[in-house]
Amino acid sequence: MQDLDTARGTAELMVNNVKKVMVGKDAAIELGVIALMCRGHALIEDVPGVGKTMLARSIARSAGCTFKRIQFTPDLLPTDVTGVSIFNQKTGEFEFREGPIIAQIVLADEINRATPKTQSATLEAMEERTVTVEGVTYSLPLPFMVMATQNPVEYEGTFPLPEAQLDRFLLVIKLGYPTMQEELDIIEGQRMVHPIDELESVVNSEEILKMQEVTRGVYVDDLIKQYVVTIVEATRDHEDISLGSSPRGSLALFRAAQAQALIRGRDYVLPDDVKELAVAVLSHRIIVSAAARMRGISGREVISGTVDQVPVPGAQAQGWLRR
């Protein structure tokens, strides 16, 4: 229990610290921290100017980890991301100059502005935590997390992310517009100086690694595991979905539910954790059929409807019974 309390405290410190910068975006902040807790990656997708980059920077600064930013552009090359070997005339040997992907937290800003070839340069890093350059494999520092941003409304000059790339993101975060009062608070908060300039780290990499380890120990009842798989299986046989979620989606939903339970102060997962996270974790892993798109149905709406149709397990979680 002490480890659970410590891990929960680490997560709460990060969430509360990011709230100093992001006004009224508690759910988005929690999702970002959940991705870090699960050793996953997050794709922040929304209209320009709502704070996508600021959310990623705030989480990185709160975590006290090494941080690098990659501004994706159409002329960016794969070696600009991974690094390149350069011949040193003095030593007569090739030296590896590491790219910005070699950091603990990486901000891939406007990732859909780069060509598919450059986008694929992050695939190995996101899945295997390694980078291979000219036949030599380099391990990435831990913890490792990619937080990518993209603007869905800017189609000119952008390249849609392929399914293989989207599948490697644990979840997708939507920010949305602030309310009038929240926007007034943003104006007041940035009147003299931006809050990000005064934000300090509240945890370190060792505490994050411990938090990630403890998160995997959160209890999940067999019925809830079946509930997760049933939801994912339902996406593979849905009239509005032409391509369902892969098994990676089941594992991602399972891990995310563990992290949310820990943040909420529990050492066990409830069906509600799965229901709340299903849209964020699965909506980007499916391809909506052409007929559904013509009717204006989005992936998030399809997943939300699918979750509503899957029966919730009636058994109580073991941790609940113990209490």
Q: What structural domains does the chain harbor? A: 218-312 (1.10.8.80)
- Check residue 315 and give its pLDDT: 46
- Check residue 156 and give its pLDDT: 60
Q: What percentage of the chain carries pLDDT values higher than 90?
A: 44
In the chain, which stretches have pLDDT less than 50?
Answer: 315-323
Max CA pair span of the chain: 70
- Check residue 84 and give its pLDDT: 86
Q: pTM, whole model, 2 decimals?
A: 0.88
pLDDT tens profile 233-246: 999 988 888 888 98
- Check residue 227 and give its pLDDT: 95
